[in-house]
């Protein structure tokens, strides 16, 4: 029965001209959903029972499916004429809408933060209603956070350099720019890891300020990990010569995402690190 359906679909594709791309049926969305369910279930088991087996299985399956799914997407993008103009425009709109949804994701964190920033009395604490809470040691914004800020700003220039080289047909410059950008992304993650391990306030039992701080900066760190992985894939694709001045949407999508990560960090640095500092800071 399935063979008949596929044959009919193939006939429609071959006889009816249209500017759209009919996606080939894939098992990865189903498997991806199952692996995500395993991962979140594993987080619950790890947090409540200290059992990391389900979490390990979920993460391993998630990364495996990501690799296989991205492999199919890359192969599809290399088929000449498959992504026509309408499809390319749709991909750009889709990426723009995805980044817009990510913006609103971070807006919720800033909303929570500024609720306590402007109305500290809502914390329900017995101490004086001030923000940050009285006696709290905060992280010095001009130590590691400033380094991370300069790091991400520099990475924004290197990814733009790589994009310019790509448009000019300079594949060597594209590879160099992407390589430096990936290194800067890793350097940022190392800086944030050092900051977390030397934080003057703990993640657990750190109060509302710690929760607001770690959830906002932590999710940004997750996005940097995703962006760095995205750029690493683009780096290997550039090294393989899979981009050219007219066909490189995968690179563009990665660059858009990386610039979004840069801008979010600037808001985090100003609002949480700089405006949220207390009289006592720890470098």
Distance (Å, whole) CA 28 – CA 153: 35
If one counts the domains in the chain, the total is 2
Nearest to 145 by CA among 5, 251, 283: 283
User: Which stretches in the chain have pLDDT values below 70?
Assistant: 1-18, 122-128, 206, 279-283
Angle of helix 171-197 versus helix 249-268 axis, rounded to 10: 30
Domain range enclosing 217: 83-282
Domain match, 51 and 95 both: no
Q: What pLDDT does 75 receive?
A: 84
Q: What pLDDT does 279 receive?
A: 56
Domain match, 32 and 149 both: no
CATH at residue 76: 1.10.287.70
Q: Which of 44, 61, 82 is the last residue of a domain?
A: 82
Nearest to 222 by CA among 201, 252, 193: 193
Q: What pLDDT does 201 receive?
A: 85
Q: What pLDDT does 54 receive?
A: 93
Across the chain, the runs of DSSP E, i.e. the strands, are 138-139, 281-282
Maximum CA extent, the chain: 74
Q: What pLDDT does 6 receive?
A: 47
Dump pLDDT digits (tens) for 85-142.
888 888 899 999 999 999 999 999 999 899 888 887 766 655 557 788 877 888 999 9
The DSSP 8-state label assigned to residue 123 in this structure reads: G
Domain match, 72 and 92 both: no
Q: Which of 82, 98, 116 is the last residue of a domain?
A: 82
CATH at residue 263: 1.20.120.80
Domain match, 217 and 174 both: yes
């Amino acid at each position: 029965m399935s063979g008949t359906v596929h044959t009919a679909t193939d006939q429609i594709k071959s006889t009816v001209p249209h500017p759209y791309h009919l996606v080939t049926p894939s098992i990865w969305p189903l498997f991806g959903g199952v692996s995500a369910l395993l991962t979140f279930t594993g987080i619950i088991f790890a947090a409540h029972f200290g059992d990391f087996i389900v979490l390990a299985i979920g993460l391993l399956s998630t990364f495996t499916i990501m690799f296989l799914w991205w492999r199919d997407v890359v192969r599809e993008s290399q088929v000449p004429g498959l992504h026509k103009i309408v499809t390319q425009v749709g991909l750009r709109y889709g990426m723009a809408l995805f980044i817009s949804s990510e913006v609103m994701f971070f807006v919720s964190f800033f909303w929570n933060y500024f609720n306590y920033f402007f109305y500290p009395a809502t914390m329900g604490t017995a101490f004086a209603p001030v923000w940050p809470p009285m006696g709290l040691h905060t992280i010095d914004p001009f130590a590691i956070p400033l380094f991370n800020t300069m790091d991400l700003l520099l990475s924004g220039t290197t990814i733009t350099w790589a994009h310019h080289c790509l448009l000019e047909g300079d594949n060597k410059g594209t590879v160099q720019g992407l390589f430096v950008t990936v290194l800067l992304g890793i350097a940022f993650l190392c800086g944030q890891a050092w900051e977390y391990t030397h934080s003057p306030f703990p993640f657990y039992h750190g109060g509302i300020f710690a929760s607001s701080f770690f959830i906002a900066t932590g999710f940004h760190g997750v996005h940097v990990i995703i962006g760095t992985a995205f750029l690493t894939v683009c780096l290997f694709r550039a090294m393989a010569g899979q981009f050219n001045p007219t066909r490189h949407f995968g690179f563009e999508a990665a660059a858009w995402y990386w610039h979004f990560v840069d801008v979010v960090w600037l808001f985090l640095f100003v609002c949480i690190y700089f405006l949220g500092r207390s009289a006592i800071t720890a470098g």
